[in-house]
Amino acid sequence: MELYNTLTQKKEPLLSHEPGKLRMYTCGPTVYHFAHIGNLRSYLMEDVLEKFLRYSGLEVQRVMNITDVGHLSSDGDTGEDKMLKGAKREHKTVMEIAQFYTDAFFADCEKLHIRKPDTVVPATSCVADFIRMIEVLLEKGYAYLAGGNVYFDTSRLSTYYVFGNQNSEDLAIGVRDSVEEDENKRNKADFVLWFTKSKFDSQELKWESPWGLGYPGWHIECSSISVKYLGEYLDLHCGGIDNAFPHHTNEIAQSESYLGHPWCPHWFHVLHLNDKRGKMSKSKGEFLTVSLLEEKGYDPLVYRMFNLQSHYRKPLLFSFEALDNSAQAYRKLVSRVEALTPGGEPDPQAAKPYRDEFFAALSNDLNTSLGLTALYNVLKSDLSDATKRYLVEDFEQVLDLGLLEAAAKTESGQAQEVSADFARQVEELIAKRSEARKNKDWAQADAIRDELQKMRVVLKDTPDGVTWQVEK
Ligand code: AMP
Ligand code: ZN
């Protein structure tokens, strides 16, 4: 497939180091609070990407870290550890907070049909690996000790500003905005690999290290976990766009200095979900969660639909009006799928041009809204219901909107809603109508149809006889 690469700022073929196998790394959540629907936009689009890669026949191996230590309030090296902040807020231990919000994250993912990656690794389970990587960086001269902390020396790199849109001016602003002056740093862009000293002493989790009791910086976890579980050559790295700098820039610096060769050629970044006030973020305190959407009566899969309707590389503005539109579109899709008669043999030959259309949309930089158009085209085509159903099932491997399940639920829900008496009455009228038609008594047959229509019963003639349902 062709996928935009933030590293080269071009749409490029996504290649894999080992044929047929794709190694994919995702920066996981910082588990000090619930994920907001902005965070989930990133995971949702990464999920569609993963599912599409599998759909196109690749064996995908995907790893995600869970940040349960080291991510400070700013993405630079200042402020309090976010985990500690969460623990204080809730009068719990850091590990209790981590467990609770990790579980909450995956529960949200399940509701949104986001597949759990094959390997999920909490940062705190790999501290020994981080220490080893830092030791190598020190040995190779890419790191230095100052004021008790270990820093990465960015002046040792020939290229640091690797993401094209991060010019040195942006970098200077980024550094000024997020990082208070740390006099231990030799260069402004240097960052901490290991803390033994910081501005706050209440860090709850600390580990022994060659440099004293302390804890790792945020960036080292992704370099180390990725190399440990996916090897020296990564094919695709994902995250929200705010991760591009400094987090991903620093990951590249660490990994390539450690490995001594290029590490990951393709970088996928999802643009932000914004609301009226700008980027949705946890630190702003007030943010929308999946549970909140549910409380307001939205099916989480409507939020999935909302995301699929727009392109991942454009910022997405959230509003309840927009979500209502997606809810309406979703309901319509479900009822169209529900209206498909079960059974029958699909015609793969007739399905092919529609499959090609879907495949072309997704292979072109994951154009999910055109993927949805392909689905609409199927539903309004003159293909047989069996072929339509076959294509819906096929596309759902990627879109995963739960359309077939939702349609089945509405069908059975409706059956339960209709009383036995009502059903008997309808069945009797249908039998009378068939009888009238057999006797070519068209007036009588039409009169019965009208009566059924008044009862909001819709008839459908199928090869297996007449089926009916109550109009919504
Ligand atoms: P965090 O839990 O803060 O480490 O963030 C988890 C993921 O969500 C990262 O990949 C972020 O880049 C991403 N993210 C944060 N805010 C947003 C947003 N408003 N829209 C989309 N993705 C976001
Ligand atoms: Zn990361």
197: left (phi over 0), alpha (psi -120 to 50) or beta: beta
Report d(CA 448, CA 461) in Å as an integer.
15
Question: Are residues 235 and 116 both part of a single domain?
Answer: yes
Pocket of ligand 1 contains residue 243 by CB under 6 Å: yes
- CATH, residue 356: 1.20.120.1910
Average pLDDT of the chain, as a whole number:
90
Q: Tell me: do 401 and 440 sit in the same domain.
A: no
pLDDT at res. 321: 94
Say how many domains are in the chain: 3
Residue 350 lies in a domain: yes
Establish whether residue 307 lines the binding site of ligand 1, counting it when its CB lies within 6 angstroms of any ligand atom: no
- Is residue 70 within 6 Å of ligand 1 at its C-beta? no
Q: How far is the CA of 270 from the centre of ligand 1 (A)?
A: 9
In a domain, 314, yes or no: no
The verdict on residue 78 lying in a domain is yes
Q: Specify whether 8 is located in the same domain as 119.
A: yes
Interval 253-280 mean pLDDT:
94
CB 279 near ligand 1, within 6 Å: yes
Q: How many CB atoms lie within 10 A of CB 212?
A: 15
Residue 29 CA, closest ligand 1 atom number: 2
Let me know whether 150 and 236 are in one domain: yes
Answer whether residue 379 is part of any domain: yes
- Tell me the pLDDT tens digit for each residue of 174-232: 444 444 568 889 998 999 999 997 655 667 788 999 999 999 999 999 999 999 999 99
Answer whether residue 291 is part of any domain: no
Pocket mutation for ligand 1, best pick of 34, 40, 97, 242 (most atoms within 8 Å of C-beta): 242
For residues 253-276, average pLDDT: 96
Residue numbers of the domain that contains 323: 298-309+319-407
Same domain, 178 and 100: yes
- Domain identity same for 438 and 464: yes
Asked if the structure places residue 353 within a domain, the reply is yes
Digit-coded pLDDT (tens) for 72-97: 776 666 677 888 888 888 888 888 89
Average confidence (pLDDT) over 407-434: 77
Tell the residue nearest (CA) to atom 15 of ligand 1: 39
| Domain identity same for 27 and 77 | yes
pTM of the predicted model as reported, rounded to 2 decimal places: 0.85
Please check whether residue 291 is in contact with residue 100, taking contact to mean a CB–CB distance below 8 angstroms.
no
273 lines ligand 1 (CB under 6 A): yes
Regarding the beta carbon of 104 and ligand 1, being less than 6 Å apart is answered no
**Nearest ligand atom owner, CA of 225:** 2
Nearest alpha-carbon partner for 260 in 101, 142, 386: 142
Asked if residue 374 belongs to a domain, the reply is yes
In the chain, what percentage of residues exceed pLDDT 90? 69
Model pLDDT, residue 259: 98
Check whether 465 has a pLDDT greater than 80. no
Judged by its nearest atom, the ligand closest to the C-alpha of residue 29 is: 1
Q: Is pLDDT above 80 for 28? A: yes
Asked if 372 and 455 sit in the same domain, the reply is no
Backbone angles phi, psi at 468, to 5 degrees: -145, 160
Predicted confidence at residue 413, as pLDDT, reads 59
144-184 residue pLDDT tens? 999 999 999 999 998 886 676 554 444 444 444 444 568 88
